[in-house]
Amino acid sequence: MGMRARVLMSAVVLAALIGSVIAPPSKAATPLPDPARAGFADRLYRLDCGHSLANDESVWTPGENVGRPIEFSSTCWLIKRGGKWLLWDTGVPESALNDPKGWSTLPQLIVYHLDKTISGQLSAVGLKPDDIQYVAISHTHGDHIGNVALFPNATVLIQRVEYEWISSPDGPNANVNQLKALARKLMGTPKHLQLLDGNTDVFGDGSVTLFPTPGHTPGSQSLLVHLRKSGFIILSGDVAHLDANFRNNVVPTLNTDKAASIASMEKVRTMMGTYHAQLFINHDKAQTDTLKIIPAFYD
Ligand SMILES: [Zn+2]
């Protein structure tokens, strides 16, 4: 190799190295699993990640229930597969614990309360935050990313579109702009960040798949998990907040894209058919209250 070629070569290597330092690693999109061949996760635990009171249900049901208060659940999920653990969403910040004033993402609309910490609930099954390998984020609203900083050694899995959106210029909806500002603060810059470009088979065997369900936010995602006894379960993220909204294609006013929101609900319905899957809706308190909670689990 001549001198000039060698210089060029080292410039290319250097550029590649710099690129890998600056850009977080990404995972190439994968197809959705074959329902007959998908591997199995071992356990799915529900964690209580808070509950909230909003003063105007019509934000979630436009034109109806104006001025009516509504209570929502906030749910995180813990998945065990082999010796690895994945946490789905991180809930309301632990600093809100037992604070009678509560904590808020949009103080004029909604207040969250936290009765139990994530770390306390993890310790109930013998885990410390450092035992969690993956923290997968449905989307960047504060009630889903409030405790990302508790897991500095986990790989954070988030759709690239979502991560880039929170740093994009503000739009016309003041509530949405306020949520983005809070998201930047709570997300910080995770040490191990993996940006996703579509469907992502986390363990490479179809047991846990993240799939885009945009509309609530531009890079929202949901999670499909496969269990031996329970079969397939879809964890909603905020593709819908209430079962009635999901059944009737009702889109909250806070969502960034109404058509995409409806398409995402239709996609989830199609997948529920393909996989004979149940749908666990994060914020639907009536449903959430019927589900098992840690240390009980689905397997
Ligand atoms: Zn949300």
Rounded distance, CA 224 to CA 234, Å? 5
The DSSP 8-state label assigned to residue 238 in this structure reads T
The answer to whether residue 294 is domain-embedded is no
Structural domain containing residue 275: 42-288
Instruction: Report pLDDT for 196.
Output: 97
pLDDT confidence of residue 30: 85
Spacing, Cα 120 to ligand 1 middle (Å): 24
According to the model, what pLDDT value does residue 51 have?
Answer: 94
Judge whether 28 lies within some domain: no
- Please write the tens of the pLDDT for every residue from 166-211: 999 999 888 889 999 999 999 999 999 999 999 999 999 999 999 9
Cα 237 to middle of ligand 1, angstroms: 8
Residue 271 lies in a domain: yes
Domain-located, residue 154: yes
Q: Tell me the CA–centroid distance for residue 27 and ligand 1, in Å.
A: 24
Domain containing 235 — which CATH number?
3.60.15.10
Any domain includes 1: no
How far is the centre of ligand 1, averaged over its atoms, from the C-alpha of 96 (Å)?
18
Give me the number of domains the chain comprises: 1
The per-residue pLDDT for 27 is 67
Instruction: State residue 107's pLDDT score.
Output: 85
What pairs with residue 233 in β-bridges? 225, 278
Tell me how far apart the alpha carbons of residues 29 and 214 are, in angstroms, rounded to a whole number. 16
Q: How far apart are CA 266 and CA 133, in angstroms?
A: 31
Q: How far is the CA of 60 from the centre of ligand 1 (A)?
A: 11
C-alpha dist (Å) from residue 272 to 39, 73, 77, 247, 268? 18, 22, 19, 13, 6
pLDDT grade for 16, boundaries at 50, 70 and 90: very low
Q: In 3D, which of 96, 46, 113 has the Cα closest to residue 289?
A: 46
3-class secondary structure, 227:
strand
Using one digit for the tens of pLDDT, what is the confidence trace for 36-88?
999 999 999 999 999 999 999 999 999 999 999 999 999 999 999 999 999 99
The first and second tokens of residue 257, run together, are 């894209």
CA trace torsion 87, 92, 98, 104 (10° rounding): -170
Cα(141) to ligand 1 centroid in Å equals 5
Does residue 256 carry a pLDDT above 60? yes
Higher pLDDT, 295 or 8: 295
Cα(58) to centroid(ligand 1), Å? 15
Q: To the nearest whole number, what is the mean pLDDT of the chain? A: 92
Mean predicted confidence (pLDDT) in 95-105: 91
Ligand 1 ion: Cβ-proximal residues, 5 Å cutoff: 141, 238
* In the chain, % of residues over pLDDT 90: 85
CA–centroid distance, 279 to ligand 1, in Å, is 17
Q: How far is residue 278's CA from residue 222's CA, in Å, rounded to a whole number?
A: 13
Q: Tell me which of 16-25, 130-139, 191-200, 217-226 is least confident.
A: 16-25
User: Is residue 241, in this structure, part of any structural domain at all?
Assistant: yes
H/E element, 7: helix 3-22
pLDDT band at residue 25 using 50, 70 and 90 as cut-offs: low
Q: Strand 70-81 to strand 84-88: parallel, antiparallel, or no bridges (unpaired)? A: antiparallel
pLDDT in the model for residue 298: 98
User: Residue 2 has what pLDDT?
Assistant: 52
Position 263 in a domain: yes
50 in a structural domain: yes
Centre of ligand 1 to C-alpha 139, Å, is 7
Residue 21: band (very low, low, confident or very high) from pLDDT cuts 50, 70, 90: very low
Collapsing DSSP to helix, strand or coil, 78 comes out as strand
20 C-alpha vs ligand 1 centroid, how far in Å? 31
Range 141-147 average pLDDT: 96
CA of 11 to the centre of ligand 1 (A): 44
- Supply 177's token pair: 């702009």
